[in-house]
Structure 1
Amino acid sequence: MPLSLIIEQALNGLQLGVTLFLMASGLTLVFGVMGLINLAHGSLYMVGAFVTAWVSASVGSFWIGLGAGIMAAAAVGALVEVAVIRRLYARDHLDQVLATFALILIFSEGTRWLFGSQPLWLDVPDLLSGAVTLPGGSPYPVFRLAIIAMGALVALGLYLMISRTRLGMRIRAGEADREMIGALGVDIATLYTLVFALGAALAGLAGAMVGALQSVQVGMGEPVLILAFVVIVIGGIGSVKGALIGAILVGVTDTMGRILLPSAFGLFMDASSATAVGSALASMLIYLLMALVLALKPQGLFPVHARA
């Protein structure tokens, strides 16, 4: 197998991992601080993608559309938290699952009503178009590298926010003992709204960036949401560091498995059988990885109580 292909697929896995991190970081913050299972997180990813695509097509600027998509996702997230989610904190997880699943249906039908059933397309901005040459001579899109760089910056920003700011201190305290920080005078309702809006903005950012790589369509958030849940289980619920490491593990494992396993089985099987068996096993790899991590560390790689 050519070295250039391995490097290209490793970068694809890293880019997938960064996208999953943007989704999983918001999801793990919401679960860690609020104890809320939010199945509608993928719908906020979809909102970011649709608003970015629509605004970009209307004004002719990807960057204005990107800003609009992030702000729309954050605003919708804050509105949903105030109108619906706030009533679920004291309820059990089954009620949270049912309510947020209902939100998925509402968002899907609302998006279809607003934007239609046909997919939207988002063009890569001129600044990030083109490709660079990898070792071995294979071209690689600049936009995918930009997603990786952006994910690194977001991870650094989240680390600094959580470890160095007053808001981050309150988020960490809320994960440890939300009743105590309420007794100390912190406005819990405002804190929850801010955390939920932040998570929604990160999901919207992920949707906006991925929208330039694939079509923007109704229901695009649900497959990514499943992977995001796998990420936070592997990394440790409530841990942003765990979300980053878990997302990279999932992204690289999934991408490299899909290219390496069929080739490995091809050494002793015919091409069609090797492709079928290798592809089937590759689709299971991330779940096998999750099972292995849970067997060795039931609370994930970086449980919140062990976080620095």
Structure 2
Amino acid sequence: MSTILLIEQILNGLQFGVMLFLMAAGLTLIFGVMGLINLAHGSLYMVGAFAAAAVAGVTGSFVLALIASLVAAAAAGALVELLVIRRLYARDHLDQVLATFALILIFSEGTRWLFGSFPLFLDIPTAFAGPVMLPGGIQYPAYRLLIIAIGLLIAFGLFQLIARTRIGIQIRAGESDREMIAALGVDISKLYTIVFALGAGLAGLAGALVGAIQSVQVGMGEPVLILAFVVIVIGGIGSIKGALVGALLVGLTDTLGGVLLPELFGTFMEASAATAVGSSLASMSIYILMAGVLLFKPTGLYGRA
């Protein structure tokens, strides 16, 4: 493999990891603060993508499409928390899983009713439609670099929010002792709604950003949700830092595994067999990574016992 191709695949892994971070950050906050297993988080990713595609189709503005994805997903998340999730906090995890699975079906059928069964397409903004020349003569899509930059900026903003703001202090306290902060006068119901809306907004933004690379279609959030759960297990439940590190590890492992493993097996196997075996192992690589992390650190890389 050439150096240029390797660097391109590393950048692809970073872009994939950053997208997973936007999904996993909200999911880990929701689980860490509320103790809630939210299977419908992928549906909020889908809501953001469809909102962005609809607004871009009407206005032609990608910026407005991103804003719409944030607002629509956050509003949908707040509404879901107020109407459904709020009744599940005192229930066991099985009830939470069943209720949020029902929400997946409701969101999927509702989206299909509004937009139809055919996929929508979100165009890459003209300014980022072409490649960028990087050092070493590497040409790389400008839009993928934009996704990496947006994701890292949001990660920095989340770190600042959690570490330096009043709401961040309340979120960290809520992860440690919800009963205590309620006793100190914090409106725990309001805090839960804010956290849920924040997580939903980040998922919606991720859906909009990826929607310009892939098609926007019903059910697009479920495969990403599985990977987001892998990320928060690796990084540690409730940890934003863990979500970022875990997402980058998963993104790089998945992307590089798909390229390097077939080549590795190709050194001692015929090409067709090497491709089949390498691709199969590559699809398993992130779960092997998760198992390895849990073997040595059951709480995840940055999780607390």
Indicate the TM-score class for this superposition, using the shorter chain for normalisation: over 0.9
Describe the superposition over 1:120-166 as per-residue Cα deviations: whole angstroms up to 9, x where unpaired: 00001122221112455342100100110111101100000000000
Per the normalisation by structure 2, the TM-score is 0.99
Describe the superposition over 1:67-108 as per-residue Cα deviations: whole angstroms up to 9, x where unpaired: 111100000000000000000000000000000000000000
Q: Is the 8 A contact 1:52 1:66 kept in 2?
A: yes
Aligned to 1:274: 274
After superposition, residues 55-134 of structure 1 pair within 5 angstroms as 55-134=55-134
Aligned to 2:227: 227
1:213 partner SS: coil
After superposition, residues 209-228 of structure 1 pair within 5 angstroms as 209-228=209-228
What are the ranges of 5 or more consecutive residues in structure 2 without an aligned counterpart?
Answer: none
CA distance in 1, matches of 2:283, 2:128: 31
CA distance in 2, matches of 1:191, 1:135: 46
After superposition, residues 172-211 of structure 1 pair within 5 angstroms as 172-211=172-211
Aligned to 1:30: 30
Aligned to 2:10: 10
Cα 1:271/1:135, change in 2 over 3 Å: farther
CA distance in 2, matches of 1:74, 1:2: 43
2:75 partner SS: helix
Describe the superposition over 1:177-229 as per-residue Cα deviations: whole angstroms up to 9, x where unpaired: 00011011100100000000000000001000000000000000000000000
After superposition, residues 228-247 of structure 1 pair within 5 angstroms as 228-247=228-247
Q: Is the 8 A contact 1:4 1:135 kept in 2?
A: no
CA distance in 2, matches of 1:152, 1:111: 30
CA distance in 1, matches of 2:79, 2:179: 24
Q: Which moved more, 1:124-133 or 1:282-291?
A: 124-133
Question: Identity of counterpart residues, as a percentage?
Answer: 73
Alignment-mate amino acid for residue 40 of structure 1: A
Aligned to 2:43: 43
CA distance in 1, matches of 2:57, 2:255: 31
Report the alpha carbon displacement of residue 59 of structure 1 after superposing the two structures with TM.
1.0
CA distance in 1, matches of 2:118, 2:138: 34
2:182 partner SS: helix
Q: Which moved more, 1:132-141 or 1:88-97?
A: 132-141
Alignment-mate amino acid for residue 2 of structure 2: P
CA distance in 2, matches of 1:223, 1:29: 20
CA distance in 1, matches of 2:49, 2:179: 36
1:120 partner SS: coil
Q: Which moved more, 1:132-141 or 1:205-214?
A: 132-141
CA distance in 2, matches of 1:60, 1:289: 41
1:139 partner SS: strand
Per the normalisation by structure 1, the TM-score is 0.98
Aligned to 2:286: 286
1:275 partner SS: helix
Q: How many residues align?
A: 305
Report the alpha carbon displacement of residue 304 of structure 1 after superposing the two structures with TM.
3.9
Q: Is the 8 A contact 1:4 1:134 kept in 2?
A: no
What RMSD in Å do the two structures reach over aligned CA positions? 0.8
2:36 partner SS: coil
Within the alignment, does 1:164 sit opposite 2:143 as a pair? no
CA distance in 1, matches of 2:217, 2:304: 35
Question: Runs in 1 of length 4+ with deviation above 4 angstroms?
Answer: none
